[in-house]
Chain A
Amino acid sequence: MNVLDLIGKEIPPFEIPVERGKIREFAQAIDDDNPIYYDPVYARSTRFGGILAPPTFTTTKLFWHREGSTADLPGLDYRYVVHGEEEFEYLKPIVAGDVLTCEGKITHAYEKEGKRGGKMIFVVFDYAFYNQRGEKVLLSRSTMIQTGGVIET
């Protein structure tokens, strides 16, 4: 597989309904008991007006799409793919009740020699999230790395 062929590959847009139950589950999983994630009466009294999504909540996009995830990329083996980097840019708050649309694209793909020899493949996914009002609310970039063999770090 020529890794350069991945550049420009688009992930078909999909919806992410932002739900109170999912926010609760996610906040528990990151061990955060902030009532803004759990208590609707308290949350409504804040400037956000509702249960707030935690900063890394859009990771739950995995729950909503199957097509186009790392596991589906031809030539990449999930056993040897590690998450290298992640970046978030926050534009507007995300609250329970929002329905986000996620658009994704592979914007970079390249190879590098690993420190211990072997070839590493880097694939960069850029995502944009829009809410039901068409406002861009968040951008994220994921850099996934296929290592030359067994993961060592």
Chain B
Amino acid sequence: MGPKVLYFEDAQEDDEAPTLVTPQITRTHIVRYAGASGDFNPIHTDEICAIRAGNDRVFAMGMMTAGFLSHMITDWLGNGTLRKYGIRFVARVWPGDTITCKGRIVEKYTDGKRKFIKGDVHAENQNAQKVITGSILAELPSRNE
């Protein structure tokens, strides 16, 4: 895979990102992200603890899904282009869920020599229920430079 670059001239409002679909989420994914991030909140990895806290099983940490969504974004826009990434966790992700990550350009504009796009991004589960809603600001290179 070569370096992905999206040039400002090739980005149009309403363009959609290539959809990214995660593998089916397992407890191993959750444990792996816990180790990688240092989030050892037992509500995500200790089934007994999660059940005692009133849940019917463990659930994923929001930032794991936010990471999958960020992967969709960098595949779409290229590395080093993000300037802002804001997300809201609206529903939880559970083992067995499959998450689809989507994005769309809502605005493109120039500020001096710098060229930007704003986009809406979201992650939804296999029932088309949104689990994360969010927005991005990215600075894209120009073909003319």
In the complex, A149→B55 CA distance in Å?
A: 11
Q: How large is the interface on A (under 10, 10 to 19, 20 to 34, 35 or more residues)?
A: 35 or more
In the complex, A88→B54 CA distance in Å?
A: 31
Contact with B along A43-67 (1 / 0, CB 8 A): 0001110001011100111111000
Quick check: B84 and A26 within 8 Å, CB to CB? no
Enumerate chain B residues within 8 angstroms of A25, measured Cβ to Cβ.
35-36
Contact with A along B1-42 (1 / 0, CB 8 A): 101000000000000000000110000010011011111011
Which of A75-83, A104-112, A120-128 is the contact stretch?
A75-83
Enumerate chain B residues within 8 angstroms of A84, measured Cβ to Cβ.
88-89
In the complex, A32→B32 CA distance in Å?
A: 13
Enumerate chain B residues within 8 angstroms of A28, measured Cβ to Cβ.
32, 36
Least CB distance from A45 to B in Å reads 9
Quick check: B89 and A87 within 8 Å, CB to CB? no
Quick check: A54 and B70 within 8 Å, CB to CB? yes
Least CB distance from A120 to B in Å reads 14
In the complex, A88→B35 CA distance in Å?
A: 22
Question: CB within 8 Å of B: which residues of A?
Answer: 22, 25-26, 28-36, 46-48, 52, 54-56, 59-64, 71, 78-80, 82-90, 93, 149-151, 153
**17 new A-B pairs (CB below 8 Å) besides A28-B36, A29-B33, A32-B71?**
A30-B68, A30-B71, A34-B1, A34-B75, A47-B80, A54-B71, A54-B74, A56-B66, A56-B85, A82-B89, A86-B86, A86-B87, A149-B54, A150-B53, A151-B54, A151-B92, A153-B90
B117 within 8 A of A: no
